[in-house]
């Protein structure tokens, strides 16, 4: 089957202002890698409804599977649920199972504090807003406190998943969504990077070789990661190819063969697989 690409949207002024460091991007890359998948793109968006809505519309149109974190609470600076409804052109409705789970959480909290359960108290009624999702949403379970995230299927047979900004809640939701909806796309050892440390070289000198490798091997990507102050290698380039294992072996052999006339100095070879 043709599996979609995977994207990530991280929402929140606290990320863009530097009040909090984003932890979702590196974790999601790891989560995908453990399943033989890769992240195709990521975006950061502040708490601006117009920007969030526009970003979600692009995500829907992309045909990609997209995970979106942050802004699904019920405070005035939480806009993601409303923006999702606008982007999908659907009304917000109280999801009946979300309502039950939220009320269950309210009852649990009251019991833990030795207080009576009062579902009709104004603050508890306000908490039900966390279950107001665009019509047709599917729930994502929250193993931390039961209050669910949600998912919306897109016309391109992909989906957008909406999780809280808190990693302790979002990360299990991400794993659940991948394992529940996209396990048919999992591939072990499906992606390999093979590179060599090139000492003291200039990228501009090696660019024609990189272009030649990519032209000769369309399914493979060439990468060049320069460093000027590495504690062991000093100024160097981590130069290599990545893609399907069989294609990488052939492309890497050509890369080394076409580098030979430059009489370069080399460090170790590096192989990374997912």
- φ, ψ at 18 (rounded to 5°): 85, 5
Is pLDDT above 90 for 13? yes
Cβ proximity of 181 and 159 under 8 Å: yes
pLDDT at residue number 188: 64
Is pLDDT above 80 for 190? no
Is pLDDT above 90 for 191? no
| Residue from 13, 31, 4, 49 nearest 167 by CA | 31
Cβ proximity of 76 and 70 under 8 Å: no
What digits encode the pLDDT tens for the residues 62-100?
999 999 999 999 999 999 999 999 999 999 999 999 999
CA 26 to chain centre: 8
Question: Domains along the chain?
Answer: 6-185 (3.40.980.10), 192-273 (3.30.70.2860)
- CA dist 59 and 61 (Å) reads 5
Token pair recorded at residue 156: 């391109």
CB neighbour class for 206 (10 Å; exposed up to 12, middle 13-18, buried from 19): buried
- CA dist 202 and 200 (Å) reads 7
Percent of the chain past pLDDT 90, that is, above it, reads 87
Cβ proximity of 182 and 3 under 8 Å: yes
Cβ proximity of 66 and 8 under 8 Å: yes
């Amino acid at each position: 089957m043709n599996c979609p690409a995977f994207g990530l949207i991280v929402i929140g002024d606290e990320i863009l202002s530097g009040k909090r460091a984003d932890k979702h991007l590196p974790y999601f890359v790891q989560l995908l890698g453990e399943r033989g998948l890769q992240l195709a793109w990521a975006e950061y968006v502040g708490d601006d409804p117009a920007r969030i809505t526009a970003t979600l519309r692009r995500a829907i149109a992309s045909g990609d599977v997209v995970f979106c974190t942050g802004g699904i609470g019920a405070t005035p600076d939480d806009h993601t649920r409303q923006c999702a409804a606008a982007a999908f052109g659907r009304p917000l409705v109280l999801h009946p199972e979300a309502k039950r789970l939220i009320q269950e959480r309210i009852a649990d909290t009251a019991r833990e504090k030795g207080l009576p359960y009062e579902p009709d108290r104004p603050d508890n009624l306000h908490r039900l807003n966390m279950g107001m999702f665009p019509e047709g949403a599917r729930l994502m379970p929250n193993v931390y406190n039961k209050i669910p995230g949600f998912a919306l299927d897109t016309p391109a047979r992909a989906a957008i998943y909406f999780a809280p900004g808190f990693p302790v809640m979002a990360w299990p939701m991400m794993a659940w969504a991948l394992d529940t909806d996209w396990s048919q796309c999992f591939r072990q050892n499906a992606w390999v990077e093979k590179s060599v440390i090139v000492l003291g070289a200039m990228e501009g000198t090696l660019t024609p070789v990189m272009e030649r490798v990519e032209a000769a091997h369309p399914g493979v990507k060439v990468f060049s990661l320069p460093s000027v102050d590495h504690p062991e290698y000093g100024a160097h380039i981590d130069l290599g190819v990545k893609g399907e294992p069989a294609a990488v072996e052939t492309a890497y052999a050509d890369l080394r063969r076409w580098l030979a006339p430059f009489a370069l100095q080399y460090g170790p070879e590096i192989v990374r697989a997912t």
